Amino acid sequence: MLIYFLQRLVSVIPVALGVSLICFMLVHIAPGDPLTAVMPVDATAEQQAEMRAAYGFDKPLPVQFVLWLGNALTGDLGTSIASGRPVADEVMRAVGNSLILAFFASAIGFPLGILFGFLAGTYKNGVVDKVITGIAIAGVSVPNYWLGMVLVVIFSVSLGWLPSMGAGPGGSTEWAWDWEHLRFIILPAITLAAVPMGIVTRTVRALVADIRSNDFVTALYAKGLMSRHVVAHVIRNAAPTALSVVGIQLGYLLGGSILIETVFNWPGTGFLLSNAIFQRDLPLLQGTILVLALFFVVTNLLVDLAQPLIDPRIRRT
């Protein structure tokens, strides 16, 4: 077990380095000068050179990458070009809001996906299976930003039950665990949970249907085991693969909510990333992408470490 854990931990290092290199290069491939948005129109050549030197853009890209990576390892992600504030402070504030949104979306999407998938797989090709499959396909197929706008039209504009934008009363970006703030998270959480719910449902349905068709399930019934004991065996065999899918979808919830956060004006990493793109704020863009990518890497690492605890056979693979 210890060797397995160490192997997984060591394998994260090259992945993290590769992710940091890709994050750095992607933002530099885009055309345009990021400093044009903050420099005066009549800026002299000397002023432009000073500005580029201040942000390190006057150095070759390999040197810029080494310096940026070295600073990032110490927690220094640079300074935002647009706001002039430390990128780390901006990103951490947004990460907190995204984690809150991801928590509520997970609490909605994952339990429903597992429950629906198990029911559909148990009653394969029946009415329950067809209804649940239709719901899952709709959840995956419908664009989440469109679903968000439809929910806003129904529950905010027409019925007036829920707020449509922001994270709190009066445009507040500070979260509090009370009803006034919870009302603001219901619509974005439901919208964000739609795709993971559909994917988890389809995955668990296929797993349960396949496992129940195996000979060992028939043998368990033949031995006289009660249905709840057979169900426990089915769940145990389906859990490792289902956990992998849940881990991937959790990474999506943390880093793939840019459109939803933009629609609902939720002050998370997706909204921050959208602003950084439009403002051509390279330090903020690089820092946000790096943090989101590392969240995804860490989430998958935790899933890899948890799988052997559920299925000991994985330790020998």
Position of tokens 């947004």?
94
Find the DSSP H helices in 213-257. 215-222, 227-255
Beta bridge partners of 86: 79
Across 32-46, 80-94, 153-167, least confident range? 32-46
Range 302-311 burial, b when 16+ CB lie within 10 A, else e: ebbeebbebb
Q: CA–CA distance from 48 to each of 34, 148, 281, 297 (Å)?
A: 12, 43, 16, 38
How far is it, in rounded angstroms, from Cα 314 to Cα 306? 10
If you average pLDDT over residues 168-178, what whole number do you get?
69
Digit-coded pLDDT (tens) for 178-193 = 777 788 888 888 988 8
pLDDT at 317 over 60: no
pLDDT at 172 over 70: no
pLDDT at 316 over 60: no
For residues 267 and 306, the model is more confident at 267
- Structure confidence at residue 314 as a pLDDT band (50, 70, 90): low
If you average pLDDT over residues 255-271, what whole number do you get?
78
- Structure confidence at residue 43 as a pLDDT band (50, 70, 90): low
pLDDT of residue 244: 74
Domains of the chain with CATH codes: 87-316 (1.10.3720.10)
Digit-coded pLDDT (tens) for 203-214 = 888 888 888 777
Residues 6+ apart with CB under 8 A from 97: 167, 173, 175, 266, 267, 268, 269
pLDDT of residue 179: 77
Q: CA–CA distance from 97 to each of 49, 90, 267 (Å)?
A: 37, 11, 6
How far is it, in rounded angstroms, from Cα 101 to Cα 189? 6
pLDDT of residue 128: 87
- Structure confidence at residue 33 as a pLDDT band (50, 70, 90): low
If you average pLDDT over residues 227-231, what whole number do you get?
71
Can you say whether the dihedral through the CA atoms of 261, 262, 267, 271 is positive or negative? Answer: positive
Position of tokens 């909510």?
257
Contact (Cβ atoms closer than 8 angstroms) between residue 140 and residue 199: yes
Digit-coded pLDDT (tens) for 214-227 = 776 667 667 766 66
- Max CA pair span of the chain: 86
Find the DSSP H helices in the chain. 2-29, 45-55, 61-73, 87-122, 127-141, 144-151, 179-212, 215-222, 227-255, 258-263, 269-279, 282-310
pLDDT at 170 over 70: no
pLDDT at 25 over 80: no
Beta bridge partners of 79: 86
If you average pLDDT over residues 224-247, what whole number do you get?
73
pLDDT at 236 over 60: yes
pLDDT at 234 over 60: yes
Q: Which long-range contacts (C-beta less than 8 Å, at least 24 apart) are formed by 119-123?
A: 120/201, 120/204, 120/205, 120/208, 120/209, 121/204, 121/205, 121/206, 121/207, 121/208, 121/209, 121/211, 121/212, 122/208, 122/212
pLDDT of residue 310: 64
Digit-coded pLDDT (tens) for 121-166 = 888 888 888 898 898 888 888 888 888 888 888 888 888 888 878 7
pLDDT of residue 24: 75
pLDDT of residue 99: 84
pLDDT, mean over the chain: 78
